[in-house]
Amino acid sequence: MANINVTVWNEYRHERHNEQIAKIYPEGIHRTIADFLGKDAQFVVRTAVLDDPEHGLTDDVLASTDVLIWWGHVAHSEVRDDIVEKVRQRVLDGMGIIVLHSGHGSKIFQRLLGTNTGALKWRDDGEKERLWVIDPGHPIVSGLGEYIEVPQEEMYGERFEIPAPDELVFVSWFEGGEVFRSGCCYKRGRGKLFYFRPGHEAFPTYHQPEIQQVIANAVAWAAPIQGAKTSYGRVSPLEYVQPV
């Protein structure tokens, strides 16, 4: 099996400025995700953060990334538009992308989906979340049970302003009564996109084994495949065409 090159991107602001969050993710959310993915021999993992030159997403990095994982929250506006466009084009060309939690409001998610994806209900009271698997045959849920229970999480509630997913994998229920489409798959050009809802920075969600399993499964699902070659523009006919 060929290696899958993964870049884990994180704005990396909460962990540096909030002592409580730093205790949960002392080296950043990106490092926690990279560490558990790195235990799987098929993944070659690196990290990038907002304050790196070019946000760590240089042309060389993007060209050699099979799957990009994106976590952002308070600094969406600081991400350069030209880099967002480079990421979008790479997805259209075949790179997979996994958008986590509050990345729903990121520029790249909005560009790829074309709607006001930042519009939803929320409440950060640390409620129990139950993510129900509603597509048990999907590769992203391989190895899971009927649901994942997260002891404490931020609530997101419908309506969530996204286009109808090509495939809906998880629906969440929260203690306060809300529900949410929490595992959404899309195809954009030759690339695949997975939005996965859990992951509020104030809770240890990314240390939970079932959440780690979903992300690892999603990376394998989103990795590019060697599909058919395509061409565009004016072409010569395959058969003889009688000139008009």
CA atoms within 13 A on the CB side of 35: 11
What's the pLDDT tens digit per position in 123-171? 999 999 999 999 999 999 999 999 999 999 999 999 999 999 999 999 9
pLDDT at 127: 97
- Rounded CA-CA distance 170/244 in Å is 55
Q: Would you list the domain boundaries of the chain? A: 4-117+182-222
Mean pLDDT within 219-225: 96
3-class state of residue 115 by DSSP: coil
Q: State yes or no: pLDDT of 1 exceeds 70.
A: no
Residues 220, 5 contacting (CB under 8 angstroms): no
The C-alpha atoms of residue 1 and residue 41 are separated, in whole angstroms, by 10
Which residues, listed in sequence order, are joined to residue 185 by a DSSP beta bridge?
167, 194
Interval 63-122: pLDDT, tens: 999 999 999 999 999 999 999 999 999 999 999 999 999 999 999 999 999 999 999 999
Residues 174-187 have a mean pLDDT of 98
Residue 45 confidence class, pLDDT cut points 50, 70, 90: very high
Can you give the pLDDT at residue 28?
A: 98
The CATH number assigned to the domain with range 4-117+182-222 reads 3.40.50.880
Segment 6-12 shows an average pLDDT of 98
Helices (H), 51-167: 59-63, 81-93, 107-113
Q: Could you tell me the CA-to-CA distances from 40 to 4, 29, 169, 196, 219 in Å, in that order?
A: 10, 18, 23, 20, 11
The distance of Cα 141 from the centroid of its chain, to the nearest Å, equals 15
Would you place residue 201 in the very low, low, confident or very high pLDDT band (cuts 50, 70, 90)? very high
What gap in Å lies between CA 83 and CA 89, rounded to an integer? 10
Mean pLDDT confidence for 199-210: 98
